[in-house]
Amino acid sequence: MAELGTIHIMPIGVDVGHVKTAIREPRYWPIRKIYLIHSPDNSKDKLEQIAKKLQKDLQKTGNIVVLKKLSATGAFEMNSILDEITKIEREEHGDDATPLSDIVVNVTGGTNMMAVASLWAASSLKLDAYY
């Protein structure tokens, strides 16, 4: 029997306000797990540190939060993001050809390419997407 609740996949960048807004949306409650897709730290932005802080903040509210780090250029590469979202879907559903509609993809955060790739991945995997 599948666990109840939704799995949220959320690309993030410097601004993470959309994540906190999204988890307050009752349409996708209860939340079972949150995946945050992020870039590594660079000289300008400490993106991995932002992701780790957000993870800790969300875990304090009882959420299971998993970080998925892209390569240094991954946030600007369509295939990198598509591959990561596909891997998450496979981790959660395995080879089940008809999984429950329990995964939702937030297309709000990160780079423009992350948003486009997230929408594309959601569509191709038949997952719900929201902004």
Q: What is the pLDDT of residue 96?
A: 75
Q: Find out whether 20 and 118 touch, Cβ atoms under 8 Å.
A: no
Summarised one tens digit per residue, pLDDT across range 90-104 is 999 887 766 667 999
Say which residue the tokens 């307050």 belong to: 24
What's the pLDDT tens digit per position in 52-106?
A: 999 999 999 999 999 999 999 999 999 999 999 999 999 998 877 666 679 999 9
Count Cβ atoms below 10 Å from residue 114 Cβ, excluding itself: 29
Q: Rounded mean pLDDT of the chain?
A: 91
DSSP one-letter code for 5: S
pLDDT score, position 78: 95
34: nearest Cα among 68, 1, 78 = 68
Which pLDDT score is estimated for 1?
37
Question: pLDDT at position 64, please?
Answer: 96
Name the percent of the chain in helix, strand, coil, to the closest 5.
45, 20, 35
SS (HEC) of the chain: CCCCCEEEEEECCCCCHHHHHHCCCHHHCCEEEEEEEECCCCCCCCHHHHHHHHHHHHHHCCCCEEEEECCCCHHHCHHHHHHHHHHHHHHHHCCCCCCCCCEEEECCCCCHHHHHHHHHHHHHHCCEEEC
The three-state secondary structure class of 83 is: helix
